[in-house]
Chain A
Amino acid sequence: MSDLPKPIDQIQGKPAFATPLTPRRRAILVGSSRGIGAALARKLAGEGYILALLDRNAELLQAVSDEINRTYNETRAMSYAHDVTDYDSVPALLRRVIADLGGLDLFVYIAGVIYFPDINEFNFEEDRKMVEVNLLGGMAWLSQIASLFQSMKGGQIVGISSVAGDRGRVGNPGYNTSKAGLTCYLEALRNRLTRHGVQVITVKPGFVKTEMIKDVQRTPFAVTAEQAAEGIWNAIRRRKQVVYISGIWRWIMLTIQHIPSVVFRRMSF
């Protein structure tokens, strides 16, 4: 066979098969070795999903899938090492993963990195990394999935964006941009794909207590990764469009978005 990427953790055999009386839904989670991704993986596994977990950090990822498989005593999670900036590898990897899963019902893009610049710092190198992982990686995957789901006339897509994408602000222009881009792309996909029976959900977390914000001083309304996963599952189950985690951020961002620029540009917020 050709040099296809091999799953680094394949079984106890193969994942459980689906029958009319024991149906299975299948999901791909990109960026699931820790934080929101790992928490969502555990949540979905608990809801009976068969999962393909992808992440750059192979060891951590293996630990997550091993834990899930041990908990349910069957193969519910398969893991694949993948760096989202390796855009060219996506089509072949996706094909492999779907063949291993036996189908696909849900795709979630969670991968994200952040760099915290000083208030007077402009750092293109770091900004570029954020755009490459948060936005371009997202687009590389989402465009493939969108095409697939469009032919299939079904499926659910979830993109983990951020409240940071709702307005460009003083603190982190690069991160704001990467997330704003992702939000916009997801919206465009929603507008394209809804008519084909595909559902697109944009999740905008505020502060979630993970590695990502471990050095941040002020984290108002912060929730745990498990709570975030719960909120995302809720959105998937109830087929929502745009979801803020926690809900209060919807009102906070609404306010922030409407502060007139002549005022906002003088704020250090």
Chain B
Amino acid sequence: MNNTFTQFENFGHSLKAPSYCLHPTTSGEIHEIFHLAKKTGLTVNARGGGRSYNDAALNGGGILLDMSAMNQFLEWDPASGRVRCEPGVTLEQLWKKVLPDGWWPPVASGTMFTTLGGCLAANIHGKNNFRMGPIGEHVVEFTALLPTGAEVACSPKKNGDLYYSMISGLGMLGIFTSITMQMKKMHSGLLEVHAWPTRTLKDHLTSLEDGAPHYDYIVGWLDTINTIGHGQIHAANYLHEGEDPEAQKTIRLSYQHLPDRLFGVMPKSLLHYFLTPFANNPGWGLVNQAKYIASLRRSVFRESHAAFHFLLDYVPLWELSYGRGGLIQHQSFLPKETALHAWTEMLALAKKQGLPSYLGVTKRHRPDKFLLTHAVDGFSLALDFKVTDGNRARLHRLLQEYDRIVLANGGRFYFAKNSETSPETARTFLGEETIAKFRKLKKRCDPNGLLESDLFRRVFGG
């Protein structure tokens, strides 16, 4: 094997790890790579879009499979909305394929650059998790290659234990080779969006809870620098048949563009350079304040699916504006009974330490049956933090405290985001039983321990 050693990073550019990068195009090639790994004593991890904020898609010193070459559609039935594709197909490819025929992915993350394999491995949630659950609940069937060489087909009824564990299994039980999903019928390329401000955290969470039953999607943004509670809720509904007089037009891809210029002036591709001087406490303080003021009026408007969903893709390469140290995200999921108390404490602590988060995003959730799931009957709060040489140690202590507060309040974590979760924390919220089950499946699917990632070694001890 040649030394094409490549430096890979997490999405937030705050962590890097070099790996031997290989690009399989068939499951036969993946099979050969498992053989190679066994022969050379190296471990293997798959990497899709690399959108995880932590080390889920990294494998320092080992082999990394760039799955982007396995990005073909295998079957698409525009009548039933059923699609079967390779794991390297991105959400972008998916919605662009299905929307012109009047369908939309039932669950979509805030960025469209994730691959379906990655989406399943993390078991992504969207702004409709409270209603539609995670993406796993819309996977009809998948096939996967296990490190033992076995090819398995899994659905809720067939190989159910593998189905419920490989989805959310962080790529540690096998590599997906094909994924079959059921899309959701759309009657318009638009959503009807309701937006309104919130003044307090209680107000904000109540809005999410009370609003959710009335909407198909709901998401909140919180100003976590200037205040604790100022924020905005965006809730959206599908349009029913007949409600969009221009449905034929809005469903076209050309209608689904993300805003091209910010404020109609600044070309988006240059934007991240201009964000950099603002990537500090006063700068983001200003941005958050401006956003809050702009949102003070309740409004109702129609917006394309792409514009509503893919907020993270609005500003290309925005993650580069965070500077040399990059950014990390702390996302916590809390039951609705304890969320207010826990987050009030956490946000106050950040303010006191002078380590505010630059972006706070809230969602409403419900539980699901997948093995390493993160969702609860409650809410999530995602907090972005800039990392600098100066703040590392303090930020580390702050996040340890955050984890303690979340656990004390019955919370959970999502393995595609948090980078500092310790094995003890994982053991606490997952429970010994879940971990034992996972380890047993791991032993069965991967007896030689060929599949490993930096995340797996960090959280599960490898």
Contact = CB atoms under 8 A, between A and B. Distances in A.
A159 to B, nearest CB: 19
A21 B419 contact: yes
Nearest to A105: B18
Contacts of A1: 38, 41
Contacts of A20: 10, 12, 14-15, 54, 325-326, 328, 387, 419-420
Given A99-B61, A102-B61, A21 B396 contact: yes
A20 B11 CA distance: 12
B254 interface: no
B7 A152 contact: yes
Contacts of B387: 20-21
A22 B393 CA distance: 8
B392 interface: yes
Interface string B48-89: 000000110000111000000000000000000000000000
Interface stretch (A30-38, A143-151, A203-211, A225-233): A143-151
A17 interface: yes
A247 interface: no
A245 interface: no
Given A95-B41, A99-B62, A148-B3, A21 B328 contact: yes
Nearest to B455: A17
B296 interface: no
B240 interface: no
B3 A151 contact: yes
Interface string A96-124: 10111111100000000000000000000
A102 B454 contact: yes
B61 A98 contact: yes
28 contacts: A1-B38, A13-B461, A14-B462, A18-B60, A19-B15, A19-B54, A19-B458, A20-B15, A20-B325, A20-B387, A20-B420, A21-B328, A21-B396, A23-B392, A92-B40, A96-B41, A98-B18, A98-B61, A101-B60, A102-B61, A102-B454, A104-B61, A144-B3, A149-B5, A151-B3, A151-B6, A152-B7, A153-B7
Contacts of A14: 457, 462
A4 interface: yes
A181 interface: no
Most interface-central of A92, A99, A148 (chain B CB within 10 A): A99
A137 interface: no
A2 interface: yes
4 nearest A-B pairs in the assembled complex, by CB-CB distance: A20-B14, A102-B60, A103-B60, A21-B396
Contact of B41 (A2, A104, A144, A147): A2
A154 interface: yes
A100 B419 contact: no
B265 to A, nearest CB: 34
Given A17-B457, A95-B41, A95-B42, A152 B6 contact: yes
A147 B391 CA distance: 35
Interface of A: 1-2, 4, 13-14, 17-23, 92, 95-96, 98-104, 144, 147-149, 151-154
Nearest to A1: B41
A151 B6 CA distance: 6
B457 A103 contact: no
B5 A21 contact: no
B399 interface: yes
Contacts of A96: 41
Contact of B5 (A23, A102, A152): A152
Given A17-B457, A152-B5, 8 more contacts: A2-B40, A19-B420, A20-B15, A21-B392, A99-B43, A99-B61, A102-B457, A152-B18
A30 B18 CA distance: 21
Contacts of A92: 40
B157 interface: no
A34 B62 CA distance: 30
A18 B7 contact: no
A145 B5 CA distance: 10
Contact of A17 (B62, B393, B454): B454
Interface string B424-462: 000000000000000000000000000000100110011
A22 B396 contact: yes
B395 interface: yes
Given A20-B328, A99-B42, A147 B3 contact: yes
B29 to A, nearest CB: 20
Interface in B112-163: none
B15 A95 contact: no
Contacts of B328: 20-21
Nearest to B400: A21
A1 B42 CA distance: 10
A255 to B, nearest CB: 42
A28 to B, nearest CB: 11
A19 B61 contact: no
Contacts of A144: 3
B393 to A, nearest CB: 8
A14 B10 CA distance: 22
A103 B17 contact: yes
A12 B10 CA distance: 28
Contact of A4 (B6, B41, B393, B396): B41
Contacts of B61: 98-104
A5 to B, nearest CB: 10
A154 B18 CA distance: 10
Contacts of B42: 95, 99
Interface in B13-43: 14-15, 17-18, 38-43
A70 to B, nearest CB: 22
A106 to B, nearest CB: 13
A4 B38 CA distance: 11
B14 A104 contact: no
A65 to B, nearest CB: 18
Contacts of B10: 20
A149 B6 CA distance: 9
A8 to B, nearest CB: 16
Nearest to A145: B3
Contacts of A104: 18, 61
B41 A99 contact: yes
